[in-house]
Structure 1
Amino acid sequence: MSSSEYEGPSWGIQEIYLTCESHLIIAISYGAARIEVQLHQTRSGRAAEDKLIKEYKAACDAEDEDKEMAVAERVADQIMETGKPVFDKLAPVQSAEEDFHSLIFPEKFAFSLSTVKGRWQITKLEEEPHTNVPGRREPMRTVLEDDTAMDEPDDGFSDEDMDTDQDDLADDEIFLVTTTADLDLPRYSTKDIKLIERLDGFGIVARVVVDGQERCVKVLDRDTRRAVQREFDCLKKIAASPYAATMRTPKLLGIVVVPDDGRAIGIVEEYISHPEVYEMSNLGRIGKVTKVDKKRRAKWASQIQETVARLHEIGVVWGDAKPSNVLIESGTDDVRVIDFGGGFTTPWVNDKLAETVQGDDEAVRKIAKYLKV
């Protein structure tokens, strides 16, 4: 199920996480509201919700981001199928003319999703929903992860290559984009940005209109603060390089700020227009690649190789290099490399090579092999 399959507010996954190994919590944007839904392990351990929790935990343990997303989408689909009539009565409807602000600072509701005699039911909770507001001080949640996983891998460049490390910031600053005083970029209030649609991925990523132009906006939250900051730093470095005009990556176009005090909470990027046909929207969705003309595939592989080589030349590591982070641009049929938030996805990058030049090179070779060129 997707928001296009029925009439009503648009919706998308904002975040999903495990607590205490037995609770799965997923937050969904629904129109102008944030819907937080909890799934709890049952005593029998054999209910449908138990299966979903176990599958998501297994995907996390395997560090399989694609599987994590697939399970998250299944959970979200079940939530929408069960809870939409309830959500429609509570959630404010977001019109096409409504500003982007309500997506960042939404009204919040908490629910639980469970099965009773094999049938799904949704129950409204009176407790305060998990809050994830940019620029606000929040208690950090308990997650299932190895603390050592937060250590920064050696990417082949010095610490000076990136402007900041968000982990060094005070608690009340961790949701702010760290910029420099000499940065010559326009700043856009959340109230001056018009929402077109939420885009795939965790956190707040959206296709919007800014100054009459379609753009992509990414906003920091508790779980994406490092990723958005890293993307900002990478795109800023690209913009200052000799390849700024020709690099096949999104261009950094502005900063998102809170209207009342000007806090920087996100970035505005070029929106890469790509085919609406699912199988051609990115390289990871092609399916049977041999159905695509070999000359096109060879061109794409060459463009990826050239782009990554130039990134390395200016001191930028792609990071989460994989086919699904390569868009096929409409009009030109050229590729555009996206997502500089870091991390890695198996089998494209070995975990020991995450966010390194060597990891990028490994992924480029595997992508060429995937394209059969």
Structure 2
Amino acid sequence: MDGNTVIVECEGNRSYDYSYGVHPASFADLDARATAAEIIMADDLIVTHSGSDRNIENCVRTEDGRALFFRPRTDLTQPEFAREVSVLMRITELQLHQKAKLSNLTGLVMLEDGLIAGIAMPWLPALSLANEVNLCRYEYHTQWERQTRRIVETLHAHCIVWGDVNPHNILIDSALDAWAIDFGGNHNVDFIDSKNNETIKGDWQGVDRISREWLPEMAQVER
């Protein structure tokens, strides 16, 4: 790392850097359980796909061939990062990702100085519910609502609040099943009122607004 830049290897012998102000964390900044997470060294990651030459928040590969999603800790997402690590640790420890379609923690990405640059999760090839392709799949909308509600029920049964329920955090995979991602909290006011931020009530408000208001309206626009 050079200043606020994390350098990783890229296929094709180019290096990528993350330029949005990476703000590495110490273990003291994270949930105590984070010390039990697998450690993945940043130098061992290879970028395999990125939407931008300046952005490595995307698909990376480890030396043993695992495809992962890398999310860095930035100066704009410090509280959200700590919350996401905590929630992902709980999901992984309780193996909730085996019961519901939830992202889980593969490991913490560590720099040479021992600081944590970000998190790594299993790579999920998918499009968000907000993508026009999925908006036009009208026959699946009821199924996705049902699956999303089941995911929220699973989280709440284990005292976990999703937090940022919005269409961009619902992914649809190649089997046309819905997944929940992004547990950093915060919220989109179009779907969750500020007074309900990071609460059980807020999660259900988000699901209801997506399924009963936003999705029907957006689907009508796409017709």
Alpha-carbon displacement from aligned partner over 1:73-100 (angstroms, at most 9, x marks no partner):
xxxxxxxxxxxxxxxxxxxxx8524587
Q: Summarize the alignment of residues 184-203 of structure 1 with structure 2, pairs less than 5 Å apart.
A: 184-198=36-50
**1:244 Cα deviation (Å)?**
3.6
- One-letter amino acid matched to 1:347: D
TM-score normalised by length of structure 1? 0.50
Q: Does 1:334 align with 2:177?
A: yes
CA distance in 2, matches of 1:181, 1:359: 26
Partner of 2:11: 96
Specify which of 352, 362, 367 is matched with residue 205 of structure 2.
Answer: 362
Choose from 191, 194, 197 the match for 1:348: 191
Secondary structure of the 1:250 match is coil
Cα 1:191/1:185, change in 2 over 3 Å: same
**Pairing partner for 1:267 from 111, 119, 143:** 119
Cα 1:359/1:235, change in 2 over 3 Å: same
**CA distance 1:244–1:263, change in 2 (3 Å):** same
Aligned residues of 1:238 and 1:314 also touching (Cα < 8 A)? no
Matches within 5 A, 1:98-117: 98=13, 102-104=16-18
Q: Assess if the C-alpha contact under 8 Å between 1:187 and 1:257 holds in 2.
A: yes
1:327–1:337: 8 Å Cα contact kept in structure 2? Answer: yes
Which secondary structure state, in structure 1, belongs to the residue aligned with residue 204 of structure 2?
A: helix
Identity of aligned residues (%): 23
SS of the residue aligned with 2:98? coil
**Aligned partner of 1:269: which letter?**
M
For the Cα contact (< 8 Å) 1:176–1:266, is it kept in 2? no
Any residues of structure 2 matched to 1:58-137 within 5 Å, and which? 96-98=11-13, 102-104=16-18, 132-135=21-24
**SS in structure 1 of the partner of residue 125 of structure 2:** coil
Distance 2:59 2:32 in 1: 26
Letter in 1 for 2:198: E
Measured against aligned partners, the alpha-carbon deviations of 1:191-218 in whole angstroms (never above 9, x if no partner) come to 1001123469xx9622111231111011
| Runs of 5+ unmatched residues, structure 2 | none
Which whole-Å CA distance do the structure 1 matches of 2:154 and 2:22 have between them? 36
Size of the alignment, in residue pairs? 208
Q: Tell me, in whole angstroms, the C-alpha distance in 2 between the residues paired with 1:258 and 1:306.
A: 37
Aligned ranges 1:141-290 → 2 under 5 Å: 178-180=30-32, 183-198=35-50, 205-210=57-62, 211-241=64-94, 243-259=96-112, 261-274=113-126, 281-286=127-132, 289=135
The answer to which structure, 1 or 2, has the higher relative contact order (CA under 8 A, 6+ apart) is: 2
Residue 169 of structure 2 contacts residue 181 of structure 2 at CA under 8 Å; is this kept in 1? yes
Gaps in structure 1 of 5+ consecutive residues: 1-28, 33-93, 107-130, 136-172, 275-280
Aligned to 1:308, which of 143, 152, 163? 152
Contact 2:45 2:61 in 1 (8 A): yes
Residues 175 and 218 of structure 1: CA distance in aligned 2, closer, same or farther (over 3 Å): farther
TM-score by length of 2: 0.80
CA RMSD, 1 decimal? 3.1
C-alpha displacement of 1:313: 1.3
Equivalent positions of 1:12-91 (< 5 A) are none
1:266, distance to aligned residue in structure 2 (A): 1.4
C-alpha distance in 1, partners of 2:133/2:123? 24
Match of 2:137 among 252, 268, 292: 292
Distance (Å, rounded) in 2 between the aligned partners of 1:208 and 1:177: 25
Large movers: runs of 4+ above 4 Å = 97-100, 173-177
Do the aligned partners of residues 371 and 96 (structure 1) sit closer, same or farther apart at CA in structure 2, a change above 3 Å counting?
A: same
- CA distance 1:293–1:362, change in 2 (3 Å): same
Pairwise CA distance, 1:340: 0.9
